[in-house]
């Protein structure tokens, strides 16, 4: 799907496609209230709307991403509400049947999140979990009973930890998709730092993407 994407807005890649594939497998998607956290250009939100979701809300902290997602929704005549804000804060206490997220998750040398530039869409602190951890804490209360959270991230930032945190929050969590992909430009650039820190093996050129699915049973 061709999308408008201003400079600095995350380009849909393998993680986006993997998340969309898992979203489209959800039997509750038609007629569901869907929240897309960290929407970027709006690719996942648009996929939800096209698949019959009744209400789709997309959020991003980047004003450029918000503009891109709004324009892409208009161009495709998709009913997607796009809000600007920090993770799910703009939606208040609303509840959703499905929450999806492709947050920044790449381990990076600084624990200060960038406030501008392309790195804002991928840099996530030394562990890669600055935003993943927040989502594990902030998303569960926004799920309706029986609601589903789908989050994609790299295995480098700790798949087991994500599952454990979501289970501690009262959800039933598991990995439903794994995909091994070659390093992209960002990972190739960071490879020496990742190797020095023992986060990847010397000469490693691939990473694993995972989708964690978590259900609120009550």
Give exposure, 62-80, as e/b (b: 16+ Cβ within 10 Å): bebbbbbbbbbbeeeebeb
| Most distant CA pair in the chain, distance | 48
Is the pLDDT at 154 greater than 80? The verdict is yes
Model confidence at 1: pLDDT above 80:
no
pLDDT at 115 exceeding the cut of 90: no
pLDDT the model gives residue 116 = 85
pTM for the complete prediction? 0.96
Residue entry with tokens 């956290």: 37
Task: Determine whether 167 is exposed, middle or buried from the number of CB atoms within 10 Å of its CB (0-12, 13-18, 19+).
Answer: middle
Domains (range + CATH), the chain: 14-215 (3.40.50.150)
Tokens of 186: 């960002």
- Beta bridge partners, 34, equal 56, 98
Tens digit of each residue's pLDDT (9 = 90 or more) over 3-34: 989 888 988 999 999 999 999 999 999 999 99
Angle among Cα 65, 85, 185 to the nearest 5 degrees reads 40
Tokens of 21: 């594939």
Q: For the chain, report the end-to-end CA distance as a whole number of angstroms.
A: 36
What pLDDT was estimated at residue 214?
Answer: 98
Supply 13's token pair. Answer: 């890649």
Q: Where are the beta strands (DSSP E) in 25-142?
A: 33-37, 55-60, 80-84, 96-101
* Both tokens assigned to 50: 């096209």
Residues forming beta bridges with residue 207, ordered by sequence position: 181
Give the separation between CA 62 and CA 186, rounded to whole angstroms: 19
Q: What is the pLDDT of residues 156-190, one digit of tens each?
A: 999 999 999 999 999 999 999 999 999 999 999 99
């Amino acid at each position: 799907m061709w999308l408008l994407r201003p400079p600095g807005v995350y380009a849909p890649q393998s993680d986006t496609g993997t998340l969309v594939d898992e979203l489209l497998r959800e039997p509750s998607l038609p007629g569901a209230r869907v929240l897309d956290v960290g929407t970027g250009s709006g690719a996942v939100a648009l996929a939800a709307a096209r698949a019959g979701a009744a209400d789709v809300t997309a959020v991003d902290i980047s004003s450029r991403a918000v503009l891109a997602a709004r324009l892409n929704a208009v161009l495709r005549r998709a009913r997607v509400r796009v809000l600007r804000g920090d993770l799910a804060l703009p939606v208040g206490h609303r509840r959703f049947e499905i929450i999806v997220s492709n947050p920044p998750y790449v381990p990076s040398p600084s624990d200060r999140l960038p406030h501008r530039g392309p790195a804002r869409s991928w840099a996530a602190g030394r562990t890669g979990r600055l935003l993943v951890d927040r989502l594990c804490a902030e998303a569960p209360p926004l799920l309706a009973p029986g609601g589903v959270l789908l989050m994609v991230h790299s295995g480098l930032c700790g798949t087991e930890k994500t599952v454990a945190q979501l289970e501690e929050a009262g959800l039933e969590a598991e990995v439903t998709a794994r995909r091994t992909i070659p390093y992209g430009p960002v990972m190739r650039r960071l490879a020496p730092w990742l190797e020095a820190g023992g986060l990847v093996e010397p000469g490693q050129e691939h990473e694993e993407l995972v989708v964690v699915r978590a259900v609120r049973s009550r």
